Amino acid sequence: MRNLIGETHIDFVGHRRKAMYLSSALVAIALLAIIVRGMNFGVDFTGGFTIEVGYDKPPEIQQIRDVLIAAELPDASVQNFGSSTDVLIRMAPPENGQGGAELSKDVLTALAPTSDTPVDIRRVEFVGPQVGEELRETGGLAVLMALFAIVVYIWFRFEKKFSVGSVLALVHDVVITVGIFALFQIEFDLTILAAILAVIGYSLNDTIVVFDRIRENFRAMRRGTPAEIMNVSINQTLSRTVITSLTTLLVLLSLFIFGGKIINGFALALIIGVIIGTYSSIFVASTAVLALGITKEDMMPVEKEGVDLEHIP
């Protein structure tokens, strides 16, 4: 692969204290946002109605929002779904206990005068509060299981100190990403949860590339402290890290700008995750391993006992 940056000699490890303070501040802000402001869970997690409405020509989304607010349906979330003529409306269950048939009738009555062409109700789905709570629990369990599997994988492939460093970096990435959604009250639904799991995979891949080079250099470089070897390793993989992150961000920015509101949250979560994940693979993961006291002896391959051929009959 052609080097985008060329040979660098940046003292990444020398800035580890500044990076530690920055990461600690970001994680603290994220945790405060999650605790104080809470998550703005979507219908997938809280329960509610999903109504798909079809038009003959593209409608004005903001006009639909205003009409639903005027019809005393202020909790409705409106966005395009699939094509420009399909609209997806999500709303919490009404306090008066209306069912799907009555609610869809009210929505159709409110929207019909805003269009010169017929408005069709394509489908009405209901997610109960118990189902939403179960989705929250299983989603959180999926994240925990992914982190546990990562610990086991890196423990066997590298060394236990590397597994701790990688998990700290992944927790760092997940907490900050979720914290940004809590801070700005961006709706958190199943697509965002899928993006969080994708962020874990992306960040882990980037971290493993750096760890692999660190292990190689620990075995190949006769001289140098662990901090110096890590600096060399991070600089050697810097061009690959930057190329991967930039190309990924170009795709995600295109999705965020041109993909429509239905995937904006998904793309935004991945954009935040890629940026934070790139930062953590350079500063957080390697710094954590160094703080745990990694040595050259930890990286040396285990010598296998030789077979004594003289005692073989």
The last residue of a domain, from among 97, 127, 157:
127
Buried b (16+ CB within 10 A) or exposed e, 132-144: beebbeebeeebe
- Same-domain status, 189 and 204: yes
Total structural domains in the chain? 2
pTM for this predicted structure? 0.77
Give the CATH number for residue 251.
Answer: 1.20.1640.10
Spans of the chain, pLDDT less than 70: 1-6, 74-75, 82, 94-100, 128-133, 296-313
What is the layout of strands, in order, in the sheet containing 120-127?
Answer: 77-81, 83-91, 48-54, 120-127
- Same-domain status, 119 and 161: no
Q: Identify residue 312 by its one-letter amino acid code.
A: I
User: CA-to-CA distance for 249 and 6, rounded, in angstroms?
Assistant: 21
Q: Give me the residue label for tokens 């971290």.
A: 207
53-94 pLDDT per residue, tens: 888 888 888 888 888 888 777 567 787 776 778 888 888 776
pLDDT score at 307: 44
Q: Identify residue 87 by its one-letter amino acid code.
A: V
User: CA-to-CA distance for 92 and 122, rounded, in angstroms?
Assistant: 19
The last residue of a domain, from among 101, 127, 153:
127
User: CA-to-CA distance for 189 and 42, rounded, in angstroms?
Assistant: 5
- Same-domain status, 147 and 238: yes
2 in any annotated domain: no
- Same-domain status, 122 and 144: no
First to last CA, the chain: 52
308 in any annotated domain: no
309 in any annotated domain: no
263-274 pLDDT per residue, tens: 888 999 999 999
Residues spanned by the domain of 91: 48-127
Q: Give me the residue label for tokens 């997806």.
A: 88
pLDDT score at 308: 46
DSSP string, 57-102: SPPPHHHHHHHHHHTT-TT-EEEEESEEEEEEEEEPPPTT---HHH
